[in-house]
Amino acid sequence: MTLRLEPLTSQWLARVVEIENAGQLQPWTRTQFRQAFEDERAILWGAFEDDALVAYALLYRLPFDAELQAIAVIPEVRRRGIAQALLERLVAEANCWNNERLLLEVRASNQAAYKLYEKQGFKLDGRRRGYYRDLDGRWEDALLMSRRLATAGAS
């Protein structure tokens, strides 16, 4: 199958919500995604296999940094490099915006994502203790990570 990445418009709202609900313990709501589609500081990128949207990533432009706010791949196509391709696209986007860093946070238990982020040059900056709540009511730490971008320090 051929992977294609492209910016998403609000016509993909329902499918993005489906993907989010299929893969996240605490999924974003439809309203949160609708607001992201309407926010000029945000861009959603989609990954398509053939014509099927199988993953998305949400990037926000901040004054000096960009932040990966959400990323999800449907379970059936994980471990095929789709999240890595989306992440590389977001790094390029943040570089085009002339951001200094790309920020993200990840559940401490999500070791597959953590390893992907490390492989892509992200460094651990800190930890938010008890940030996420799991389905059993237990609290889990969020790991804060960042990556310096190519435009950092450029004039």
Residue 97 forms part of a structural domain = yes
With vertex at residue 116, the alpha carbon angle to CA 43 and CA 137, rounded to the nearest 5 degrees, is 80
What is the domain range of residue 25? Answer: 3-148
Residue pLDDT, tens place only, 36-51: 999 999 999 999 998 9
Where is mean pLDDT largest: 15-29, 91-105, 122-136?
Answer: 91-105
Residue 95 forms part of a structural domain = yes
- Domain with 66 in it: what CATH number? 3.40.630.30
- What is each CA distance from 146 to 58, 73, 104, in whole angstroms? 16, 21, 6
Residue 109 forms part of a structural domain = yes
Residue pLDDT, tens place only, 59-92: 999 999 999 999 999 989 898 899 999 999 999 9
Q: In this predicted structure, what is the pLDDT of residue 138?
A: 87
Contacts 24+ apart (CB under 8 A), 150-153: 150/95, 151/95, 151/98, 151/99, 151/100, 152/100, 152/101, 153/100
Residue 86 forms part of a structural domain = yes
- Where in 8-148 does DSSP place strands (E)? 42-49, 52-61, 65-73, 101-107, 123-133, 139-148
pLDDT at 139 over 60: yes
Residue 153 forms part of a structural domain = no
Active site residue 117: yes
pTM, 2 dp: 0.89
Residue 60 forms part of a structural domain = yes
Q: Residues near 32 by Cβ (< 8 Å), separated by ≥ 6?
A: none
Of the candidates 20, 56, 117, 132, the residue annotated as catalytic is 117
Residue 20 forms part of a structural domain = yes
Number of domains the chain is built from = 1
Residue 155 forms part of a structural domain = no
Of the candidates 20, 67, 93, 105, the residue annotated as catalytic is 105
